[in-house]
Structure formats: structure tokens, C-alpha cells
Amino acid sequence: MWRSFFLAIGAYCCLLGVEALAIERAVLKNTGGMIQSSHDVIPPDWAPWSLLGAGAVVVLYSFTVPQRVGKT
């Protein structure tokens, strides 16, 4: 279970890093209710490469986590 958990977290970080590399800004709009508002999300310059690097390290770590052979 831990192996798949770390693999999922690492893959998510890698995908988030690639997405932060591809976009300049994301606009989140709230259309629920009477008031419509929007929020700009601008990733900092360090975010894409840090997320890609950390995600790659976690994915590689997930392959070193021992897999359980039998149930206890």
C-alpha cells in the first residue's frame, strides 16, 4: 500500500510541475451564488522545476519500498 501511495504522490507532483511549466497563470472563477468572483493563481518561478524534481525523487523512492509478499 505504501508503495502505491508514494508512486501516486510522486506522479501527482510531476504532473503539477509540468502543468506549472506550461501555464503562465490560472484563473479560478466562482460562479455559485449571487456574487461572481475570480482568483488568479500565478506559480512562482521556482515551482515547476522543484515540483518535477521532488516528484521524480519520490517516484524513484517508491520503487525501493519493499513490496509485501504475504499478508499478516
Task: Write down the pLDDT at residue 70.
Answer: 59
Whether the model pTM is above 0.85: no
Instruction: Look at residue 7 and tell me if it is in a domain.
Output: yes
Rounded-to-integer distance, Cα 64 and Cα 32, Å: 45
Rounded-to-integer distance, Cα 41 and Cα 16, Å: 13
pLDDT confidence bin for 45, thresholds 50/70/90: very high
Closest CA to 50 of 13, 24, 23, 19: 13
Task: Write down the pLDDT at residue 31.
Answer: 84
Looking at every residue in the chain, the average pLDDT score rounds to: 90
Residue 69: C-alpha distances to residues 8, 28, 58, 72 (Å): 21, 45, 22, 10
Kindly report the CA angle at 59 between 20 and 41, in degrees rounded to 5?
15
Please tell me the total count of domains within the chain: 1
Task: Write down the pLDDT at residue 1.
Answer: 83
In the predicted model, what is the mean pLDDT of residues 47-72?
A: 86
Instruction: Look at residue 71 and tell me if it is in a domain.
Output: no
For the stretch 3-13, pLDDT in tens is 899 999 999 99
Instruction: Look at residue 33 and tell me if it is in a domain.
Output: yes
Which range marks the domain in which residue 52 is found?
Answer: 2-64
Instruction: Look at residue 12 and tell me if it is in a domain.
Output: yes
Instruction: Look at residue 69 and tell me if it is in a domain.
Output: no
